[in-house]
Chains A and B, each alone.
Chain A
Amino acid sequence: MKEFMKNKTVTYNLMSFTGFKSLVVFSLLLEAPRSYEEIAEYFKKHEYIGESISIDTLRVYFTSLRMVGCEIIRMKKSEGSKYKMVSHPFELSITSEQIKSLAKVYKAVAKNIELHELITLEKFLIKIIEKIDNDELRTAYEKFSLFNGVSVELVENLIKHSKLKSQITFLYNSPRSGEKEIEIITDKVELNNNKFYLYGTGLEYNQYGYFPIARIKGVTSVNLYKTDISGFEKYTVGYELRVDKNELKLTDEEKIVEIKDNSLIIENTTSNPFIIKQRILSFGFACKVLYPESFRQEIINTLKEMREGYKDG
């Protein structure tokens, strides 16, 4: 060893061999639990060390490592009596302040990035949580994550299907009828109101719709042949919206057909009028349905029915 280091211009007295060996022991245990024999063999074959280590010397290293904060245990005989590093002071850690900042950044970022970036962020956080093993972080993550109760892999899978507009069947936990299989031609995955939804044309009612992904238990099959949905009935609703054009985020089904001084005329075409109805009601008095008359009447009737709920006041 001494000679080798001399040859390599780093002289023996200019480095700590014991320090070097302790780093080797540390990194070996970091990789996996090791038996004395495995460590001794590694030492012997090491290009710099090239000599074995006695069990007594190894124990001295373990004691020293423990003194700097490493937790090393000896596993059971049935597990090969190997030495295992349970924890060490160089593990990735996070403070309470950092957890709070991470949560704040997550909340601000999550709704400003694309869905695929959000999935990447989520996978990264899951990896970090596994590495750090901090209960405070885990609890905070469960609270701030938009994926709470939703599998990242399932969302990713549904996005893939939506890109291909695949016809799939999934198992859905319906609050009304319990678990049932639903077949749809997928369209898109969206995050609305902090919840993930799968959009597509359902083949049971031949209607466009959406399903909260939290209720989807998994994709059970992918149909190789797609049903022709071009003949399904579609509705076009026109409405006037008093809103700043720059602040309005149109849905895929909406298009602006006219820009007026203080308002926009929008057309929304879908096979599911319920989705348009929800959209229109959420705009409040800033929105007025123009056509068709049947839909206009339906909105008025709904509003009157809503008003009934407050007839005492």
Chain B
Amino acid sequence: MARLSEKYNDSCIKIFMLLKLLLEDNAEYSEIMNIFADEANASTFPVVLNKYLNTLKIFGIKVKKVKNKYHLLNMPFNIDFNIDDIKTVILLKSALSILPNNKSRESLEDFIKSIEIRYSDNAKNIANSVTSSVHLDLSFYFTTFHDQILECERLCTEKRKLEITYIVNDGENTIICSPKEVKYQNRKVCFSVFNQLSRQIFDIPIDNIKSIKQLPTVSTSKDVSMSVVFKLKGRLAESYKLKEWEYSNGFDENGNLIVINSSEDPDALLSRLMKYAENCVVVTPKIMKDRMRDLIDKVLENYA
């Protein structure tokens, strides 16, 4: 005879297994049958299932059958979500459109669903009433660049090398690169790519891209970005907060902060460093040092 503490209750286990299946949204008729296989056959199963569904219903758990699958409409164990939380969930739902239409979007959809299912009745009422007042305007991305975004997402998935021609500073530039991701920044969509030759990340505005040719080769080596080293002087050296993609080896003998930067678009980096004026000097590599010097010369030409 089993010790008392080892005794278990079959109905308790079955109802929680059913609840688990419902929560995972895997409650196919056949899956549920497996739980009750020991006490019901095909003909008695509907009665047994009904008994457990009634139990859930009396406890306050609503279940809906669609075709051959049961879906959980609420959870008895809610999380206290307020109106701001619900607005945020709606915002996240509208933002799903920026994810490529693949499993990453599906997985986030599932996560949001798992949050919504934990809404209390009050939260559900709020959700129904605020839906129309929350709108994240991402439409400008898609009305103009819908096809280009989808194409770039496809190229990212396929990972083959690309030859991209794009407009830059009134001219055209062509690079061989590997696709990285589509970036959404301040109402601008950029195709972020890695150029193996210069070992730099380029964030190319999608509307500046003239052509993309997919090459047969797949980039096999790990894309290691070129590091740009710059030094910061004076008060800036003391107050500078390193970016996520930067690190520092400390100060040189003159009290200048040495910063090592990688993975920042070179144009964006130069524009940022220009702001630091005489308190910043690019140290290496030579190509970036030359670009910074040429940029300063070009600005000076404005005043010649």
Closest beta carbon of chain B to A39's beta carbon, Å: 15
**Which residues of chain B come closer than 8 Å to A45, judged between CB atoms?**
none
Known: A104-B104, A175-B239. A112 touches B138 (CB 8 A): yes
Closest beta carbon of chain B to A249's beta carbon, Å: 7
Known: A23-B76, A101-B108, A282-B275. A61 touches B55 (CB 8 A): no
* Interface pair B20/A285, CB less than 8 Å apart: no
Residue A120 is within 8 A (CB to CB) of chain B in the complex: yes
Closest beta carbon of chain A to B22's beta carbon, Å: 10
Q: Which of A165-202 contact B (CB under 8 A)?
A: 175-176, 193-195
**Which residues of chain B come closer than 8 Å to A97, judged between CB atoms?**
103-104, 107
Residue A231 is within 8 A (CB to CB) of chain B in the complex: no
Query: 1/0 contact trace for B221-243 toward A, CB 8 Å?
Result: 00000000000000100110101
Known: A97-B103, A288-B302. A108 touches B59 (CB 8 A): no
Residue A113 is within 8 A (CB to CB) of chain B in the complex: yes
Closest beta carbon of chain B to A30's beta carbon, Å: 6
Taken together as a complex, chains A and B put the C-alpha atoms of A303 and B297 apart, in Å, by 8
* Interface pair B77/A30, CB less than 8 Å apart: yes
Known: A64-B13, A108-B95. A305 touches B111 (CB 8 A): no
**Which residues of chain B come closer than 8 Å to A195, judged between CB atoms?**
241
Residue A277 is within 8 A (CB to CB) of chain B in the complex: yes
Residue A18 is within 8 A (CB to CB) of chain B in the complex: yes
**Which residues of chain B come closer than 8 Å to A113, judged between CB atoms?**
91, 136
- Summarize B's interface: helix, strand, loop or mixed: helix
Of B25-33, B182-190, B247-255, the stretch lying at the interface with chain A is: B182-190
Of B2-10, B172-180, B193-201, B209-217, the stretch lying at the interface with chain A is: B2-10
* Interface pair B19/A90, CB less than 8 Å apart: yes
* Interface pair B11/A19, CB less than 8 Å apart: yes
Interface size band for B: 35 or more
Known: A15-B54, A104-B104. A124 touches B84 (CB 8 A): yes
**Which residues of chain B come closer than 8 Å to A308, judged between CB atoms?**
278
* Interface pair B12/A285, CB less than 8 Å apart: no
Residue B92 is within 8 A (CB to CB) of chain A in the complex: yes
**Which residues of chain A come closer than 8 Å to B295, judged between CB atoms?**
284-285
Residue A300 is within 8 A (CB to CB) of chain B in the complex: yes
Closest beta carbon of chain B to A107's beta carbon, Å: 7
Taken together as a complex, chains A and B put the C-alpha atoms of A281 and B235 apart, in Å, by 18
* Interface pair B105/A60, CB less than 8 Å apart: no
**Which residues of chain B come closer than 8 Å to A310, judged between CB atoms?**
281-282, 289, 292-293, 296
Query: 1/0 contact trace for A107-140 toward B, CB 8 Å?
Result: 1110111000100110110011001000000000
Taken together as a complex, chains A and B put the C-alpha atoms of A212 and B239 apart, in Å, by 10
Residue B115 is within 8 A (CB to CB) of chain A in the complex: yes
* Interface pair B85/A124, CB less than 8 Å apart: yes
Nearest first, the 9 closest Cβ-Cβ pairs linking A and B are: A19-B15, A22-B12, A309-B281, A64-B12, A108-B184, A101-B108, A175-B239, A310-B293, A18-B11
Chain B interface residues (CB < 8 Å from chain A): 4-9, 11-17, 19-20, 23, 50-52, 54-56, 58-59, 75-77, 79, 84-85, 87-89, 91-92, 95-96, 98-99, 103-105, 107-108, 110-111, 114-115, 118, 136-138, 181, 183-188, 235, 238-239, 241, 243-244, 270-272, 274-275, 277-278, 281-282, 286, 289-290, 292-293, 295-303
Q: Could you jot down 11 A-B contacts, CB within 8 Å?
A: A16-B51, A16-B52, A56-B4, A89-B20, A101-B107, A105-B96, A112-B186, A112-B187, A193-B272, A282-B271, A284-B271
- Supplied contacts A23-B15, A104-B104, A112-B138, 14 more A-B pairs, CB within 8 Å: A23-B55, A24-B59, A60-B4, A92-B114, A97-B103, A100-B104, A109-B91, A113-B136, A117-B88, A247-B188, A278-B275, A285-B302, A313-B289, A313-B293
